[in-house]
Amino acid sequence: MLVEVRVQSMGLDPSTNTPVVILQELGGERVLPIWIGPSEASAIAMQLAEMPFPRPLTHDLLCSVLRGLGGSLEKVVITRVEDGTYFAELLVRRNGDMISVDARPSDSIAIALRVDARVFAQDELLEEATIEIAGDAGSGEVTFGGEGPAALSDVMGPSELEEHLRNLNPEDFGRFTP
């Protein structure tokens, strides 16, 4: 069963310095945290903050290509998780046909926000996501999927996350080796 979700917030896992997008079911309490890359976090945060950019970014470009080819993004579905990696599909309507395109959830969310498309997750993903509020409700500590605590105060708004991402040092992410 599919459950509609929305971007509830963006956060930063302080133990890994990795951005996290937190999806929350509409009309419900369950949330689904997905660890994402800094560039995707930046694209999501910029759209949430409605920050204009002088030239199209990659996600904007894909939206333009979709429109130019006569397609429209109907919805995004976060389909499954395998070995800690989430998978998603872009469901694109073109000429009356529905086309499913494999995509990363982070890219899918960034695109959906740009075209105001709905985002869904499989119900079992929301059931499996372990997010626990430690101690009493006012303690402000949340555990994401057993990855370690992240203080609620570490959850940043879009503009705060964008500023943090701008100030990160490339060496913080290690060296790329193909």
Q: In the β-sheet with 149-151, what is the strand arrangement from edge to edge?
A: 131-133, 141-144, 149-151
Among 158, 143, 19, 4, CA closest to 78: 4
pLDDT at 20: 92
Say how far apart CA 175 and CA 170 lie, in whole Å. 9
pLDDT at residue number 33: 93
Cβ 147 vs Cβ 13: under 8 Å: yes
Task: Let me know: does 71 contact 94? Beta carbons within 8 Å.
Answer: yes
Query: pLDDT, tens digit, for every residue of 90-121?
Result: 999 999 999 999 999 999 999 999 999 999 99
**Residue ranges of the chain whose pLDDT lies below 70:** 130-178
Q: Which pTM value belongs to this model?
A: 0.75
| One CATH from 3.40.50.1700, 3.10.690.10, 3.30.830.10, 3.80.30.10 for 2-172 | 3.10.690.10
Residue boundaries of the structural domains of the chain: 2-172
